[in-house]
Chain A
Amino acid sequence: MKYIDEFRDQKQARDIAKAIAREAHADRRYRLMEFCGGHTHAIFRYGVQDLMPDNVEFVHGPGCPVCVLPIGRLDEAMQMVETHGVILCTYGDMMRVPGAKRRSLIQAKADGADIRMVYSTQDALKIARDNPERQVVFFAIGFETTTPPTAVAIKQAQSEGLENFSVFCNHVLTPAALGAILNAETPVDIDAFLGPSHVSTVIGSGPYEPFAEQYGKPIVIAGFEPLDVMQSALMAIRLINEGRTAVENEYTRAVTREGNTKAQALVNEVFELRDAFEWRGLGLIPKSALQIRTEFSGFDAEKRFPVQAQPVSDVKGCACPEILRGQKKPLDCKLFGAVCTPENPMGSCMVSSEGACAAYWSYGRHRQKADQEGQSKGAA
């Protein structure tokens, strides 16, 4: 497929790997945090980590919206269905996430709740049109990439007078998460970021510039194909070697400095900043999420269907919070591969297919853990 195959070429991958091996100084380490689950996935699916010299390491970031959504918000969505009797529509990614008492939306659906998986906000609007006697709530999650389609749906519902449609808004902001990682009490040890790819198609590369300057970390906006990730790693290594803390853009075929201004204007018209929002693993972050503006409050499910979930703590022993902050790797978690697998996920990094634990599991890194354990037992 055009714009995919040529960015997965094996020979080119070897050549870029050689360039990286040549340019990475042997006397230092390079810890690069790839922000998005999409990057993490590419790194393991295509074996990018194995092509890197030993001193170049990828640290996995928090860019997986399903992984960072607190369980309480999922429980609140479930209350909307079970207490208020709405039809709840959501993207497939949310369906398998375990909520309170480890119950997921898919289990609630099996128990008779009217929960529908949609591919697009347009599908949710259609469900509302087809069921005028029912209330339809779209359970909206995602970063800046996924927010504009929600804004379009709310505007469309308003112009159509679709009064039985509303949105449970959980859209979050990537620059705020970047700030939280850099501002953490025990800051994660990283030398550069590989910045979001499709988030940046919407917001542009400009919003990262203050972070690069203020915290002295170079940021390279990186596409999701394996060659994009490798080229971005090479660019980051060069920036580190030169001591430059700039924002560079590898994904120029889709990202500009300004981003998609039409999408930004729509988002600004419909949404405003929340004072604070709870992130799984990162805690309460000020001004890190969006809420629906008062002008559109008729479409705000939180105002229409009052819900209140109890805070739920993560499963004991689950290292998801540390993994989302880049302080641990999945192989450091005691539950990984033992009791926590994609079939029976304990934490959010395993349940979402783009979570770091799911990537490690799917592409065979659990074998590495078994090997390590085998070796240490053998040695003992």
Chain B
Amino acid sequence: MCLAIPAEVISIDGDTAQVSVGGVKKEISMALVDDVAVGDYVLIHVGYALNKISTEEAQKTLELFAQAGMLAPDILGGQES
């Protein structure tokens, strides 16, 4: 029920926007968000953009994941389990 998926904003016309969900185009409402520009990614839920996705924060999270990988070989002596 609370699922929301990332979509790229293609064009904005007042309170509605065209977005691309993995290449599939869709019209959504922008009534719940401010400061969203074409090219931004938003989370969409039941036809509404809920939030803008932060590119910088996404990158930081991916770096956190990578840290787990960098630590693992040191301690486990590089062996794959």
Chains A and B are bound partners: yes
Closest chain-A Cβ to B47's Cβ sits at a distance in Å of 3
A262 x B34 contact (CB < 8 A)? yes
Q: How many angstroms between the C-alpha atoms of A18 and B46 in the bound complex?
A: 37
Residue with the highest number of chain B CB atoms closer than 10 Å, among A121, A197, A254: A254
How many A-B residue pairs lie within 8 Å, measured between CB atoms?
143
| Chain A residues, Cβ within 8 Å of B48 | 120, 148-149, 152
- A16, CB-defined interface residue at 8 Å: yes
| B interface footprint on A234-254 (CB within 8 Å = 1, 0 otherwise) | 100000000000000011111
- CB-defined contacts of B54 to chain A, threshold 8 Å: 252-254
- Kindly identify, within residues 9 to 36 of chain A, every residue whose CB is under 8 Å from any CB belonging to chain B: 9, 11-12, 15-16, 18-19, 22, 36
**Residue in contact with B58 in the complex, picked from A3, A63, A148, CB distance below 8 Å:** A3
Q: Is A145 a contact of B4 with CB atoms below 8 Å?
A: yes
Instruction: Tell me whether A196 and B72 are in contact (CB under 8 A).
Output: no
**What does the 1/0 interface line of B18-57 toward A look like (CB < 8 Å)?**
0001100000010111100000010101111011011101
Residues of B contacting A148 in the complex (Cβ-Cβ under 8 angstroms)? 32, 48, 50
Q: How far is the CA of A266 from the CA of B29 in the complex (A)?
A: 14
Residues of B within 8 A of A (CB): 1-6, 8, 21-22, 29, 31-34, 41, 43, 45-48, 50-51, 53-55, 57-58, 60-62, 64-66, 68-69, 71-72, 75-76, 81
Please tell me the number of chain A residues within 8 Å of chain B, measured between CB atoms: 57
User: Quick check: B2 and A145 within 8 Å, CB to CB?
Assistant: yes
Q: Is A6 an interface residue (CB 8 A)?
A: yes
Contact assessment for A250 and B61 in the assembled complex, using a CB-CB cutoff below 8 Å: yes
A377 interfacial contact with B, CB 8 Å: no
Q: Is the CB of A201 within 8 A of B50?
A: yes
- Pair A15/B69 contact, Cβ less than 8 Å: yes
Distance, CA A119 to CA B27, complexed state (A):
12
Shortest beta-carbon distance from B50 to chain A in Å: 5
Q: Which of B8, B33, B62 contacts A260 (CB 8 A)?
A: B33
A348: interface (CB < 8 Å): no
In the complex, what residues of B have CB within 8 A of residue A260's CB?
Answer: 32-33, 50-51
Is B64 a contact partner of A120 (Cβ separation < 8 A)?
no
* Contacts known (A3-B6, A250-B61, A253-B57); A198 close to B32, Cβ less than 8 A: no
Known: A12-B69, A263-B32. A149 touches B57 (CB 8 A): no
Q: Is the CB of B4 within 8 A of A201?
A: yes
Q: Is A346 an interface residue (CB 8 A)?
A: no
Cβ–Cβ < 8 Å partners of A199 in chain B: 2
User: Bound state CA distance, A354 and B22, in angstroms?
Assistant: 23
